[in-house]
Amino acid sequence: MSKIVEDCRDPPYVNLTLPPAFGSAYVGETFSCTLCANNELAANSDRQVTSVRIGAEMQAPSGTTTLEVSPTDQQAAKVDPGGSLQKIVRFELREEGNHTLAVNLSYSETTVSNDQSASSGRVRTFRKLYQFVARPCLGVRTKVSNLPSGNSDDTESQAARYVLEAQLENFADGTIILETATLNPKLAFKSTSLNWDAKELDVHHSDKPKMAPRDVLQIAFLIEQQKDGPGKEVTKDGRTLLGNLDIQWMSVMGERGFLSTGWLTTKKK
């Protein structure tokens, strides 16, 4: 973490505080951080702090994103001595690697005379950087197997059937609870879950799969070509596009995560 002050001859009278640590950050989860700008002037000071503004941006491996600071109202605020201005920033972690939260603070410092008139003032700005690493939370390995047709009729026998197996591994430091695992098939197919939600029963929170660190869980889906449906989408090397897998989980502290795979295909012919 670093701090750059515009004018270093006098100490700044507003201190920007970031959390010293927040634990691990995982791809698929939402980074959330509270920023506090504290007015450290004494109550009897002849100075005032006004027009306090907080801005933030996230520097990720793929580029820099300007973050929305909430609440968005009263961006330019007056902070009384001993008071604090608090803002919250959120960012969806979508890629692994180093991330840097850059926070900019600006405010007006005014000297007030005995007759309560402002005699002088200046604008101060400084910047703080907070670096962390986003790591994968859930590892996914998939395998597609062909199934014979379930009907001997000449027309029906042309309908393709597959089983998609996925192996999930918890890379996080803590236990996670799998909320949903959904296969979104291409238009030519329909999918049937073979997992804990297969019977479409009311699954309570306590009944959902729990994965401790390094635990592995197998899930599977039946994929069937729809009768009278659109044609299959095939890649240039002869692979059939089946769909993509969406997985949602929650940590024991209530933090939610989401992962979506790329297009899953059959084996190359």
Q: In which band, very low, low, confident or very high, does the pLDDT at 206 lie, cut at 50, 70 and 90?
A: low
DSSP helix, strand, coil percent of the chain (3-state; round to 5): 0, 55, 40
SS3 64: strand
Fold match between 3-136 and 138-265?
Answer: yes
The class level of CATH for 3-136 reads: mainly beta
How many Å apart are CA 174 and CA 223, to the nearest integer? Answer: 33
User: Is the domain covering 138-265 a CATH 3.20.20.220 domain?
Assistant: no
Q: Is the pLDDT of residue 4 over 50?
A: no
Q: Is the pLDDT of residue 118 over 60?
A: no
State pTM to two decimals. Answer: 0.75
Provide the pLDDT for residue 8.
Answer: 33
How many Å apart are CA 117 and CA 119, to the nearest integer? Answer: 6
Q: Is the pLDDT of residue 191 over 90?
A: yes
Residue recorded with tokens 């201005």: 85
DSSP type of residue 6: S
Let me know: does 1 contact 129? Beta carbons within 8 Å.
Answer: yes
How many Å apart are CA 121 and CA 107, to the nearest integer? Answer: 10
Note the pLDDT tens digit of each residue in 11-66.
Answer: 456 777 766 666 678 999 999 888 888 888 888 888 888 888 899 999 999 999 99
Helices then strands, each counted (H, E), the chain: 0, 19
Average pLDDT (110-123) is: 69
Residue recorded with tokens 């007759």: 115
- Averaged pLDDT of the chain: 84
Provide the pLDDT for residue 47.
Answer: 83
How many Å apart are CA 78 and CA 53, to the nearest integer? Answer: 10
Domain boundaries, the chain: 3-136, 138-265
DSSP-assigned states of every residue in 86-106: EEEEEEE--S-EEEEEEEEEE
